Amino acid sequence: MASGSDRNPIIIGGLPSQVPDFDPEETQEWLDSLDAAVDERGRERARYLMLRLIERAREKRVAVPEMRSSDYVNTIPTRAEPFFPGNEEIERKVLNATRWNAAVMVSRAQRPGIGVGGHIATFASSASLYDVGFNHFFRGKDEGDGGDQVFFQGHASPGIYARAFLLDRLSEQNLDAFRQERSKAPHGLSSYPHPRLMPDFWEFPTVSMGLGPIGAIYQARMNRYMHAREIADTSKSHVWAFLGDGEMDEPESLGQLTIAAREGLDNLTFVVNCNLQRLDGPVRGNGKVIQELESVFRGAGWNVIKLIWDRSWDPLLAQDRDGILVNRMNTTPDGQFQTYATESGSYIREHFFGDDQRLRAMVEGMTDDQILHLGRGGHDHKKIYAAFKAAVEHKGQPTVILAKTVKGWTLGPNFEGRNATHQMKKLTVADLKGFRDRLHLPISDKELESGAPPYYHPGRDSEEIQYMHDRRLGLGGYVPTRVVRAKPLALPEDKTYASVKKGSGHQSIATTMAFVRLLKDLMRDKELGKRFVLIAPDEYRTFGMDSFFPSAKIYNPLGQQYESVDRELLLAYKESPTGQMLHDGISEAGCTASLIAAGSAYATHGEPLIPVYVFYSMFGFQRTGDQFWQMSDQLARGFVLGATAGRTTLTGEGLQHADGHSQLLASTNPGCVAYDPAFGFEIAHIVQDGLRRMYGPDSENVFYYLTVYNEPIQHPAEPENIDAEGILKGVYRFSEGTSGSIPAQILASGVAVPWAVEAQKLLAEDWNVKADVWSATSWNELRREAVACEEHNLLHPEEEQRVPYVTRKLAGAQGPFVAVSDWMRAVPDQIARWVPGTYQSLGADGFGFADTRGAARRFFHIDAQSIVVGVLTELAREGKVDRSVLKQAIDRYQLLDVSAADPGAAGGDA
């Protein structure tokens, strides 16, 4: 691997612009030589000479400006292509069988009564790219390590299944159950790469476009991180991401390219399948997407390999002494190249070669059929092998291969290059016959005319199949394969949680700080401590986690090559090649990608990591919710902290920072276990249970989401005989009413529990109401368990009917029930159906705004005084108090005057 200074230059290809000319005469000679070349040999020849000079300058390590784009030809010239070690004839037979089975599988899925869809054209364009990877590059896991990590393009999944079928990893029954995961269980195949649905097969979910690229970047970075910290030897692992050119328009696809270049991730290769088409039409009809992407990747510091033309163009390019052919390639827009893919050889002769005598002369000896079959580089095994080999051997930079292909390649004239090809799912009999002939497969017309088209398998003992097995054996096993080798972790003893359970005494701290204190104790554990991966988007100080800087340190593969401005301070900013903290900059998407890579390391590399991702609450589930869905799909585990939670808790920040709904968003994710704890002892129980569920002997594929606040409060010590089960299941009685004669119940979560306790006091003193306060640690978990009970009862009417936990828990409490939180009412309303009595909720519905905490809570009517009126209102509805007291209470507490509210604690720590 290149040295740090080579991998991370401050200026890439810089050219001094303020240096005096010490030899003007020599300078003029160079300029005169250039003028002469232009005048005597033309601009193309002069351009060629300049490019060769730049190339030689780089070889001599002379700093020259970077070229952001190059000619529209292959980066690797023919003379530099390596020997191809495979048997191309056999590999083409294998590929033809794979192509056929992939298309037939999707086509058969459209049979009457099924019609579940599928995609044919994407794999048809990228099949050769995958085939070369499978045969020569992708490492399996049989050697005991993580092998290579391959992010397959989602829409290409039929081809991956088709290859697995040839290798006896899947059966014909599996292929016929494509997209029929329940009706054909256990043989069903998921539509796209979904590890949660096929946990022994797929590793990485990719079909939500843009998440594959960013996931691959941070997977490669996580590999380096684990190696640097000596958790796993990932030195042989290479990360491959197969992407679409249209997909590169997603911000996640290109937004984090610089981190890969900055950290020199030469263990990463992007393969962009440039078939020039989006889902509905051309990617850049009037432009050239390969040239555009080349400029973007080069500018970001990547090594770029363009794979545009197949070997049939080599003789023509060798004749191009004037550069007229290259110029035509450079200036033809993508929309026209797409048209050439659908037209005849005579059309290409007339429109591509026809308006210049020199171009026409090049193809005079070629037939129209030969011109028609001038192909694209992404379909040429030898050219692909050369590109892949160059990528894995390149040091110091990540590599992107921009491979030009035809969407729907080999599927026939009704598919190839057509705008609608992405939506086309079924082959007619005529299409099938043409497709079969193109692939030279021994399938009769009768087989194609009588019902569903057959799958093709050359036989387990055939030369082709044995070749495939041998290649995979030599590369360490089958891909894709997901293997879980990790052993359960030895979990900390109960005493580790003791300090947090003691409360904060007279000190007021936020729940964020309570969690951080617990995290410090956990990281001291000899067995578990090193496995924590701290992740934050440039706000460790905001969350009070700067105390970790001196000990855990911030991961940077280059270390710290400068004197920190705060080096004299106790909590100085400290970077290290073996740092434990991931500081991913202001990028929640990057942080979440790190979270996913770390959270699935137990499967990817057989070594569990415990990621702890702390973010500004509003910018978690709202901003990167699609990635949290990806996290569940990838079966990743870990802790997610929505700090600065709540719509009124974060004073002064305003509308875009005030989170009153992330708990509701979290409830939509089946893999997310979400809590809204009020006190440190609740956090201790939740974290301890989370470690047990995710990393203990019977580990589960879930992740924990805790919303924590920045408002300082006094945390009580854990009560004696604490209802630990209630904390974990979602609700327990925190404070029993001791005075008053009219019963009522207040359910509160998170930062609202202290308001509820204050309301309990006011109700007793002012209105003779005896209210119990319940801490609802998880509205979401209560609802999830209740829904499961109802589903069981629906399907098992003959059995004893299950009663939801929340119903059983509140059964002995005399209502009414009033729920309150710093979230919108829809969060506590999740359990309304199962509360055994009159139920009402108070919440912060609407946009947040900047003001004092007290004013904001009075505005939303969720402060203690508003809770009192809420309880009295429900009591009046039940006839237990006179309605006249409602107006009295509103006037007494001045509920209509926002400015009359106590402003509450100003500011607040993390």
Kindly report, residue by residue over 753-764, the tens digit of the pLDDT: 999 999 999 999
Tell me what the mean pLDDT of segment 245-272 comes to.
96
CA-CA distance, 780 to 772, in Å (whole number)?
A: 21
* Residue among 683, 676, 845, 825 at smallest CA distance from 750: 676
Quick check: 617 pLDDT over 50?
yes
* Residue among 621, 629, 590 at smallest CA distance from 222: 590
Least confident of 352-356, 666-670, 680-684: 352-356
What DSSP assignment string belongs to 359-376? HHHHTTTS-HHHHHT--B
Show the tokens assigned to 827.
């969060």
Task: Give residue 245's pLDDT band: very low, low, confident or very high (50, 70, 90).
Answer: very high
Show the tokens assigned to 665.
């968003």
Task: Give residue 752's pLDDT band: very low, low, confident or very high (50, 70, 90).
Answer: very high
Which phi and psi angles does 757 have, rounded to 5°?
-65, -40
Least confident of 547-551, 766-770, 861-865, 906-910: 906-910
Quick check: 2 pLDDT over 50?
no
pLDDT of 5 reads 40
Quick check: 604 pLDDT over 60?
yes
pLDDT of 410 reads 86
Quick check: 524 pLDDT over 80?
yes
In sequence order, the 6+-apart residues with CB closer than 8 A to the CB of 294 are 68, 69, 70, 304, 306, 402
Quick check: 33 pLDDT over 50?
yes
Tell me what the mean pLDDT of segment 173-189 comes to.
96
pLDDT of 659 reads 95
pLDDT of 4 reads 40
pLDDT of 566 reads 82
CA-CA distance, 246 to 334, in Å (whole number)?
A: 13
CA-CA distance, 726 to 728, in Å (whole number)?
A: 5
Provide the 10 A C-beta neighbour count for residue 586: 10
pLDDT of 14 reads 56
pLDDT of 420 reads 59
Residue 219 Rama label (left phi>0; alpha psi -120 to 50; beta): alpha
Amino acid of residue 867: I
In sequence order, the 6+-apart residues with CB closer than 8 A to the CB of 900 are 858, 894
pLDDT of 422 reads 60
Under 8 Å between Cβ of 489 and 528: yes
Tell me what the mean pLDDT of segment 689-702 comes to.
97
Amino acid of residue 340: Y
Tell me what the mean pLDDT of segment 777-802 comes to.
97
pLDDT of 379 reads 97
pLDDT of 1 reads 37
Percent above pLDDT 70 for the chain: 96
Least confident of 57-71, 608-622, 861-875: 57-71
Which phi and psi angles does 377 have, rounded to 5°?
-60, -30
Under 8 Å between Cβ of 404 and 378: yes
**Strand 399-404 relative to strand 268-274: parallel, antiparallel, unpaired?**
parallel
CA-CA distance, 57 to 621, in Å (whole number)?
A: 49
Tell me what the mean pLDDT of segment 667-671 comes to.
98
What is the rounded average pLDDT for all residues in the chain? Answer: 93
CA-CA distance, 807 to 788, in Å (whole number)?
A: 13
pLDDT of 17 reads 61
Task: Give residue 117's pLDDT band: very low, low, confident or very high (50, 70, 90).
Answer: confident
pLDDT of 414 reads 76
pLDDT tens, 703-727?
999 999 999 999 999 999 999 999 9
pLDDT of 740 reads 95
What DSSP assignment string belongs to 185-209? TTS-B-SS--TTTSTTT------ST
Reduce the secondary structure of 242-309 to three states and give it as a string. EEECHHHHCHHHHCCHHHHHHCCCCCEEEEEEECCECCCCECCCCCCHHHHHHHHHHHHCCEEEEECE
Which phi and psi angles does 171 have, rounded to 5°?
-105, 170
CA-CA distance, 532 to 385, in Å (whole number)?
A: 40
Which phi and psi angles does 610 have, rounded to 5°?
-115, 85
| pTM for the structure as a whole | 0.94
Under 8 Å between Cβ of 708 and 545: no
Q: Counting beta carbons within 10 angstroms of the beta carbon of residue 458, is it exposed (0 to 12), middle (13 to 18) or buried (19 or more)? A: middle
Under 8 Å between Cβ of 273 and 243: yes
Quick check: 3 pLDDT over 80?
no
Provide the 10 A C-beta neighbour count for residue 506: 6
Please give the residue that has the higher pLDDT: either 891 or 542.
Answer: 891
Q: Which long-range contacts (CB under 8 A, 24 or more apart) does 332-336 make?
A: 333/284, 333/285, 333/286, 333/287, 333/288, 334/276, 334/282, 334/283, 334/284, 334/285, 334/286, 334/287, 334/288, 334/289, 335/282, 335/284, 335/285, 335/286
Task: Give residue 539's pLDDT band: very low, low, confident or very high (50, 70, 90).
Answer: confident
Under 8 Å between Cβ of 260 and 220: yes
